[in-house]
């Protein structure tokens, strides 16, 4: 089952942080990047904040893909 399309958009600050994250050319994510991913995902996909195990790239990649979809719709003006 696919997740519902969200009506929500990132705010401008989140959008800028995500744009910066997307510009990083690395296959590894550091602690600060993990916290950005986990905080955005928990906020927009309605679950408690937690950091998945670093041994689970599948979860991280899935979360990044979800946030990329939000990013693609731009940011809200408030």
pLDDT in tens, 5-19: 446 899 999 999 999
Query: Is residue 2's pLDDT more than 70?
Result: no
Rounded to whole angstroms, the Cα distance separating 39 from 35 reads 6
Query: Is residue 3's pLDDT more than 50?
Result: no
The answer to whether position 5 is within a domain reads no
The answer to whether position 78 is within a domain reads no
- Residues spanned by the domain of 54: 12-18+31-72
In 46-64, which positions are buried (b, 16+ CB within 10 angstroms) versus exposed (e)? eeeeeebeeeeeebbeebb
pLDDT class for 77, splitting at 50, 70, 90? Answer: confident
pTM of the model: 0.87
Total of domains in the chain: 1
Query: Is residue 48's pLDDT more than 70?
Result: yes
pLDDT class for 1, splitting at 50, 70, 90? Answer: very low
What count of other Cβ atoms lies within 10 Å of the Cβ of residue 37? 21
The answer to whether position 24 is within a domain reads no
The answer to whether position 35 is within a domain reads yes
């Amino acid at each position: 089952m696919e997740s519902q399309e969200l009506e929500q958009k990132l705010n401008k600050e989140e959008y800028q942080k995500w744009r910066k994250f997307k510009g990083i050319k690395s296959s590894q994510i550091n602690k600060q990047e993990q916290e950005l991913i986990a905080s955005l995902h928990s906020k927009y996909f309605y679950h408690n904040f937690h950091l998945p195990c670093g041994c689970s790239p599948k979860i991280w990649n899935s979360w990044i893909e979800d946030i990329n979809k939000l990013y693609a719709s731009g940011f809200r003006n408030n």
